[in-house]
Amino acid sequence: MKKMLAVTICAGAALDATFFLFALKPNGLLQLLSMLLLLVVLVILITDLVCVPHQWKQYRLKAFLPFFAASFCLVMIFPSIISGGLLRDHLFRSRLPQYKSVLGMMMDGSIDVGDELRLIELPPEYSSLASGTMAQKDSNGILTVEFIIGGGFPVKHSGYLFRSEGKLQDWEHAGRWPYRYKIDEHWYRISD
């Protein structure tokens, strides 16, 4: 039973850590790993439950420990995702001055932004801010910038969006981001 408990705890901890890391910085490999570990933990959960009658004579109520550990790890997925997202937002806020520097370069013309939404290459010293950046300055001078920080599959993206006007309703590409919440007057956390 000790080995079962140890395997259950290790697999469950790896599962929760993977979900935390995926919420922090989404990528396809972490998404795939989290699905694989979820399947493993579900198999362990069922195995732990099936083994209870065989171990009942020797361990009594302790025979349920591996099952409860697996159940607890599955429940802890949700706090892991929430805490990963909170840390991601904290890291974004701590790097906000760097994001604002990039926006300043776009506004003053140091970084060329066209009137159509297109991919923009950030200067090397700012390349760690996003895995991809798209920007547009429309005919009214409204700057919209998407900083994509990660993604998954199938075709999932996640990041932050800046809009100098603040409102997304008037932006022609607003439908690209069905999941978004406003961080402040000009910033949104986005995903599809």
Q: What is the pLDDT of residue 54?
A: 79
The structure tokens 């732990």 sit at 48
pTM more than 0.95: no
Q: What is the pLDDT of residue 155?
A: 67
Q: What is the mean pLDDT of residues 19-44?
A: 93
Q: Return the structure tokens found at 58.
A: 């020797």
How far apart are the C-alpha atoms of 56 and 72, rounded to whole Å? 21
How far apart are the C-alpha atoms of 52 and 11, rounded to whole Å? 19
At 100-118, the pLDDT tens digits run: 999 999 998 889 898 898 9
Q: How far apart are the first and last CA of the chain?
A: 43
pLDDT at 140 over 80: yes
How far apart are the C-alpha atoms of 115 and 17, rounded to whole Å? 42
Which residues partner with 50 through β-bridges?
none
